[in-house]
Amino acid sequence: MIELTQSGDTESSEILRVENLQVHFPVKIPLLQRIVQREKAVVHAVDGVSFVLQTGEIMGLVGESGCGKTTVGRAVVRLIEPTGGKVIFEDRNIAKAKGGTIRALRREMQIIFQDPHASLNPAMRIGDAIGHPLWIHRSGSQSRASFRREARENVLSMMREVGLTPEEQLYDKYPGDLSGGQKQRAVIARAIILEPKLLVVDEGVAMLDMSIRAKILELMLDLKRKHAMTYLFITHDLATAKFICDRIAIMYLGRIVEIGPSKEIYADPKHPYTKALLSVIPVPDPDKRKEKILPRGEVPDAVNLPLGCRFHPRCPAVLSSCGWEGRDFLDLLDEHLSDPKRAGADETILGPIEDWWAKGLVAGRKTGPADAAKITERIRAILAEGPAAMVQAVGTVGLQGKNVIIEFRGPDTLAQTQVGERIVECLLYQN
Amino acid sequence: MGQDIQQQRIITKILGKPVRYVRSLFRPLVRERRTLPGILSWIGLVMLLGFIFIGIFAPVLVPIQQTNALAYPILLPPNAQHWMGTDGIGRDVFARVIWGARTSLTIMAIGALLALIVGFPIGLFSGYVGGWVDRALVLVMDSVYAFPGLLLAALIAAVIGKGIFNIGIAITVIYIPLYFRVTRSQTLSTREELYVEAARALGARSWTIMLRYIAFNVVIVIPVIFSLSAADTILTAAGLSYLGLGLEIDVPGDWGRDLSDAQKYLGSGIWWTSLFPGLMIILLTIGLSFLGEGLSDIINPLLRKERS
Ligand SMILES: Nc1ncnc2c1ncn2[C@@H]1O[C@H](COP(=O)(O)OP(=O)(O)OP(=O)(O)O)[C@@H](O)[C@H]1O
Ligand SMILES: [Mg+2]
């Protein structure tokens, strides 16, 4: 008796464990360039993501567009094969599972895609679409006719459950005849008709307007209570996540930077990126509105990732040890040179930005020894305009062979740190 | 009562798809009726329907006896009784021309149907499976396609012999690659649709995905291929008959053969035996070309838009 409850408490309550998940996509580059470049370029869509889902909880996966949320979802339900890492579903690592095994898993885990319209076959009636999973996973023993009758009943009751009514009429409609909200409901019905244990919802409500959005969210909470379903809820909308999620993981450029209970994260965000994201949620009460600190600059691309913490080029709380590198200096230089007021005569001294190169921690340009002193002096002046942390990170500036170079000191190793009940990946909280 | 509803449901289930399909084809045609491709399609469609009407009702329009040899005096110029005159062996040219429509359309239907039955599934399979199977099939089809059509058809016709059905087969071989190519390229793009990935996420097998999720969305291109190839079919069939490789001698109407028979009279100023069959070939070909070009102009952007 005791043993039973124990095993029930410890093991079976964990339904999904993702460990160091990596998904890299090859970049399509011209053949010639591929020959010249020896290194293979890849998009680091997901680059070392770990989290655990407990049975019956809703975990939000939040982040800006392109940070890899959908890719995590698709890798978890094994629509794509991870490049590395583990996906442990109910104590089984399915990261490298193949065809038949994966098909059998579909009963247990389902995904709802970002775009309900595009994920419905335009040539299939709604009722057939919702019932199709039943046919796919049907065992051969039952006669077709009796199965058909049962499936139809099942579909109709599922349609009632998700609020697709009048169900008899809608059964024979095609997706083109349905409204956005109805299609969303149809997609939900199709995903849950097999009563999966885990449901990945990718922007499940993003395409809907506010009134319907609330209804669909209520519906999902309802389903969770009724069927003890576990959700991985992907969204870029923190307001929605707050409403529905027990725990939240914040993603940035393929990594989770902060993960923990929603309440804690909303009340007191730790990671500077989380703070920035939270500051841009629209707040209804104007008095409460905080200063918006949406990070400056573009999201760096996921092919050539920034050194150290990926957020450091945009981070408002950046330290000297966060990963400053040659590229960051070039960005600063570019900014400086393209502003005519500040650039002054610098273009003639420093040369056009194209003359500069950056490699790892070093940036530099070719020059004769005569100009070196002048260039070094200008570099120091420009550095002074940049973030203070960047200046502190500079190791050497000077002539090295035929190049004037500027070299940064390397970053400190970033590690995941427990802060309260959450895990943060930021040097500010490491000691 | 319950049985009635059940029956009703079965009927809509069987007829629902085709009716929906035809409607989905006509909707853009109606919407585009004022643009050039729309106008072309409508003209072509009306002409084709006219020919189909003539073909179907030929026995009612003119008695078959009028197409027999020696039914009338030979080489009568057009007059009140024989609107298009009579030919070198005393057949009524008007009657021959009308019955010829029936023959041509039959060949066209057989050819198109066979090409569809063979080309569509292969194209679907090839596009969906991809890999070396796909590459091999494309190679085979491309080499057939590169072969001069009439020559290939003549070759096949010479081997398998005369007759409407055999000519249909000979023509099929030329058009299978066309059905294959268009179906394949449409499959390639449909394969990338989200609903296909969604089907995989449901656990569907490849066959199921191909048949239930892709095939139905690829059929939309069939009318375009059909009308693009049909004009050629008519010409090739007429060409084969002209070369004497076409139909048996007792077929009641055969534009190609009539044209070839009429040739020897042209020098003596007898124009009516060649003009009218030739005119029919041209009219039907033009109608089909209008329809084909118009439809492909309308449907292709439609497909492109759907994809984006
Ligand atoms: N099949 C693919 N091939 C190549 N690159 C891909 C592929 N799928 C995604 N990517 C890239 O991986 C990165 C992450 O994409 P993903 O779709 O997971 O982002 P996301 O967080 O879901 O964004 P959004 O909020 O816009 O949906 C992006 O840079 C994207 O371009
Ligand atoms: Mg996404």
Are A191 and A262 in the same domain? Answer: yes
Question: In total, how many domains does chain A have?
Answer: 2
**Contact between residue A170 and residue A164 where contact means Cβ atoms under 8 Å apart:** yes
Q: For residue B18, give the chain A residue with the closest CA.
A: A123
Are A341 and A250 in the same domain? Answer: no
Tell me the pLDDT band of A1, cut-offs 50, 70 and 90: very low
Structural domain of A348:
326-408
**Residue A3: inside a domain:** no
Question: Is the CA virtual torsion A61, A63, A64, A68 positive or negative?
Answer: negative
ipTM value for the complex: 0.83
Tell me the pLDDT band of B5, cut-offs 50, 70 and 90: low
**Residue A424: inside a domain:** no
Output the domain CATH number for residue A50. Answer: 3.40.50.300
What does the pLDDT look like over A72-91, one tens digit per residue? 999 999 999 999 999 999 99
**Residue A317: inside a domain:** no
Indicate the DSSP class of residue A410.
P
**Residue A297: inside a domain:** no
Are A46 and A124 in the same domain? Answer: yes
**Residue A301: inside a domain:** no
Residue A111 with chain B: CB contacts under 8 Å: 201
Note the pLDDT of residue A72: 97
What does the pLDDT look like over B46-62, one tens digit per residue? 999 999 999 999 999 99
What does the pLDDT look like over A210-253, one tens digit per residue? 787 888 888 888 888 888 899 999 998 888 898 899 999 999 99
Does A235 sit in the ligand 1 pocket, CB within 6 Å?
Answer: no
Shortest-distance atom of ligand 1 to CA A72 = 18
pTM beyond cutoff 0.90:
no
Domain boundaries, chain B: 46-307
**Residue A160: inside a domain:** yes
Interchain pair A121, B199: CB under 8 A: yes
Residues A314-336 have a mean pLDDT of 89
In this structure, which residue's CA is closest to atom 26 in ligand 1? A65
Strand order in the sheet with A230-235: A109-112, A198-202, A230-235, A58-62, A247-252, A255-261, A422-424, A417-419
Shortest-distance atom of ligand 1 to CA A23 = 12
Tell me the pLDDT band of A27, cut-offs 50, 70 and 90: confident
What does the pLDDT look like over A275-305, one tens digit per residue? 998 887 665 555 544 444 555 556 677 888 8
Nearest Cβ partner for B212 among A103, A106, A124: A124
Are A399 and A258 in the same domain? Answer: no
The answer, for B5 touching chain A at a CB cutoff of 8 Å, is no
Chain B nearest CA to A119, separation (Å): 4
Note the pLDDT of residue B244: 85
Token match 């004022």: residue? Answer: B34
Are A104 and A26 in the same domain? Answer: yes
Which contiguous run of DSSP H or E holds residue A110?
strand A109-112
**Residue A393: inside a domain:** yes
pLDDT mean across residues, chain A: 86
Token match 């106008």: residue? Answer: B39
CA of A71 to the centre of ligand 1 (A): 6
Does A45 sit in the ligand 1 pocket, CB within 6 Å?
Answer: yes
**Residue A363: inside a domain:** yes
Chain B nearest CA to A78, separation (Å): 8
**Which homologous superfamily does the CATH classification assign to the domain defined by B46-307?**
MetI-like (1.10.3720.10)
Is residue A340 predicted with pLDDT exceeding 60? yes
- Burial pattern B173-212, b for ≥16 Cβ within 10 A else e, equals bbbbbbbbbbbbebbbebbebbbbbbbbbbbbeeebbbeb
The answer, for B189 touching chain A at a CB cutoff of 8 Å, is no
Tell me the pLDDT band of A6, cut-offs 50, 70 and 90: very low
